[in-house]
């Protein structure tokens, strides 16, 4: 117990007041208690008389003057009750030993605190510039601080009479600094429900429906000399629709998905999952002649609409659903699976809150942000396998992709309850961790 009785007489007048950035305040209070325990000092906020110690001379540290150790200032008013003109020249051996122990704890604790990442306990969300040509089922990635949305699906018709799902090759880039959209060169093929990931200067688009059919082809989009250039990158071992992809180091991983596109009807209403696969493929791009390699498939029930993300070390697979046929019940798989890239093994690490089914997953500072198909937002901590709630979206929407473009969170498109033109959401959301989002350029004075 850190708050138990402490020895008296060593330093009754000690007053420790960690002055630490608000995001580390809780850690500062813990450090305060550790220092007190280690030194057997009484931590007090009342003015108590310091036992007399031998002192002489002029000068010395002023009462309450702060001490800065590894960017963690500790405000120690040890001599607050003594005249400022006195300076201690000798302390008893027991007190010196206590101070040495105290200093060691301060040094270790301050290093720990200064190395800790900032808290991500709040997100300030707001609407930004609407997405041109709204759609979902697109590929996405980040190049030069811009969010790229590639291809995707929308509907022809009108509310209550949507006639046909359409797949497109349209490509746009969103700049979170200027909050503006830019039209980029179309993809070489129309795209629907591909996997995607960023690697270096490329956004990679894996398989999906290409020109209306499941494909193995992988395309790359790169910015070269100010221009965006498309090229063929590789081929997957088999076609995949609704797969997920992540990049860990220089290795690309593509997991799950279905072998075919299985709409309920000829219009394109989605979807059954009879051809779901649990495959995991990896491509080490550092090899002289990179080739896709089969890795251990994920365990448990087959599924689609799963989300994948990484903490930079392992791959995490979140949830998914399964539906055998059009009239069959929907089975929800509420789990979180972890793939160890070193041992090639999967493990179940947590239960997935049901509200996070079909959530967009985004890697943020070694954790995973999940934005639900409604408004809920959770942060998953791989170290504890726990979830913590964050500020919800300001309006209900199902966003296919959320990007972390430090310091912004950006997502656009998908679906909402309005069912406007194209039956897809035009909303663009921008958020900032622990801060108020910047004023839009048009609102700046």
CATH number for 396: 2.120.10.80
Which H or E element spans position 31? helix 25-39
The 8-class DSSP code of residue 112 comes to: H
Q: Give yes or no: residues 241 and 377 share one domain.
A: yes
Q: Give yes or no: residues 212 and 318 share one domain.
A: yes
Q: Give yes or no: residues 268 and 391 share one domain.
A: yes
Q: Give yes or no: residues 140 and 92 share one domain.
A: no
Q: Give yes or no: residues 79 and 166 share one domain.
A: no
Q: Is residue 103 domain-resident?
A: yes
For residue 240, the enclosing domain spans 123-443
Q: Give yes or no: residues 405 and 266 share one domain.
A: yes
Q: Is residue 9 domain-resident?
A: no
> Residue 145: its pLDDT value, please?
96
Among 115, 135, 162, the domain-final residue is: 115
> Residue 433: its pLDDT value, please?
87
Q: Is residue 4 domain-resident?
A: no
Q: Give yes or no: residues 187 and 334 share one domain.
A: yes
Q: Is residue 10 domain-resident?
A: no
Q: Is residue 2 domain-resident?
A: no
Exposure string for 155-175, b = 16+ CB within 10 A, e = fewer = beeeeeebeebebbbbbbbbb
> Residue 25: its pLDDT value, please?
41
In angstroms, the CA 126 to CA 391 distance is 11
Secondary structure (H, E, C), 125-139: EEECCCCCCCCECCE
Q: Is residue 8 domain-resident?
A: no
Q: Is residue 197 domain-resident?
A: yes
Number of domains in the chain: 2
Q: Give yes or no: residues 173 and 103 share one domain.
A: no
> Residue 434: its pLDDT value, please?
81
Q: What is the mean pLDDT of each run of 10 residues along the chain (445 residues)?
A: 32 34 42 44 36 38 35 34 37 44 45 41 94 98 97 96 97 98 98 97 97 98 95 98 98 98 96 97 97 98 97 98 94 98 98 96 96 96 97 96 96 94 96 67 48
Phi-psi region of 365 (alpha: psi -120 to 50; beta: other; left: phi over 0): left
Pair 179, 441: CB distance under 8 Å: yes
> Residue 442: its pLDDT value, please?
53
The 8-class DSSP code of residue 29 comes to: H
Among 76, 95, 115, the domain-final residue is: 115
Q: Give yes or no: residues 276 and 244 share one domain.
A: yes
Using a 10 angstrom Cβ sphere, with 0-12 exposed, 13-18 middle and 19 or more buried, the burial of residue 274 is: middle
Q: Give yes or no: residues 298 and 185 share one domain.
A: yes
> Residue 439: its pLDDT value, please?
56
Among 56, 80, 115, the domain-final residue is: 115
Q: Give yes or no: residues 80 and 180 share one domain.
A: no
Q: Is residue 329 domain-resident?
A: yes
Q: Give yes or no: residues 306 and 434 share one domain.
A: yes
SS3 content of the chain, % helix, strand, coil (to 5): 10, 40, 50
Q: What three-state secondary structure class fits 97?
A: helix
Task: Give residues with Cβ within 8 angstroms of 174, minimum separation 6.
Answer: 129, 131, 146, 147, 149, 180, 181, 182, 410, 412, 428
């Amino acid at each position: 117990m850190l708050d138990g009785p402490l020895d008296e007489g060593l330093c009754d007048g000690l007053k420790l007041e960690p002055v630490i950035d608000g995001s580390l305040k809780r850690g500062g209070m813990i450090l305060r208690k550790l220092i007190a325990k280690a030194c057997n000092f009484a931590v007090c906020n009342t003015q108590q008389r310091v036992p007399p110690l031998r002192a002489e001379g002029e000068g010395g540290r002023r009462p309450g003057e702060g001490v800065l150790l590894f960017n963690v200032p500790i405000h120690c008013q040890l001599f607050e009750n003594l005249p400022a003109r006195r300076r201690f020249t000798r302390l008893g051996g027991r007190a010196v030993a206590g101070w040495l122990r105290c200093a060691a704890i301060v040094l270790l604790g301050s290093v720990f605190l200064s190395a800790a990442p900032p808290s991500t306990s709040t997100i300030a969300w707001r609407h930004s510039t609407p997405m041109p040509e709204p759609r979902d089922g697109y590929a996405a990635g980040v190049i030069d601080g811009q969010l790229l949305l590639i291809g995707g699906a929308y509907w022809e018709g009108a509310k209550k009479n949507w006639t046909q799902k359409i797949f497109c090759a349209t490509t746009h880039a969103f700049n979170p600094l200027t909050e503006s959209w830019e039209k980029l060169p179309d993809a070489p093929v129309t795209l629907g429900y591909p996997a995607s990931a960023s690697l270096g200067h490329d956004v990679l688009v894996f398989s999906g429906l290409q020109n209306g059919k499941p494909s193995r082809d992988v395309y790359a989009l790169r910015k070269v000399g100010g221009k965006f250039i498309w090229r063929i990158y590789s081929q997957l071992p088999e076609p995949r629709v609704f797969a997920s992809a992540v990049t860990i180091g220089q290795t690309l991983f593509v997991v799950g998905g279905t072998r075919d596109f299985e709409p309920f009807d000829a219009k394109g209403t989605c979807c059954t999952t009879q051809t779901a696969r649990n495959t995991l493929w990896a491509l080490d791009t550092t090899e002289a002649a990179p080739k896709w390699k089969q890795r251990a498939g994920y365990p448990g029930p087959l599924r689609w609409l799963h989300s994948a993300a990484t903490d930079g070390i392992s791959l995490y697979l979140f949830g998914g659903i399964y539906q055998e046929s059009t009239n069959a019940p929907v089975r929800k798989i509420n789990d979180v699976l972890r793939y160890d890239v070193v041992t090639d093994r999967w493990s179940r690490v947590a239960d997935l809150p049901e509200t996070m089914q079909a959530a967009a997953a985004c890697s943020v500072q070694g954790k995973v942000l999940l934005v639900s198909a409604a408004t809920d937002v959770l942060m998953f901590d791989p170290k504890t396998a726990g979830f913590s709630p964050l500020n919800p979206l300001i309006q209900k929407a199902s966003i296919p992709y959320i990007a972390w473009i430090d310091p912004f969170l950006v997502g656009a498109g998908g679906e909402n309850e309005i069912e406007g033109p194209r039956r897809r959401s035009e909303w663009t959301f921008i958020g900032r961790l622990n801060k108020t989002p910047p004023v839009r350029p048009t609102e700046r004075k």
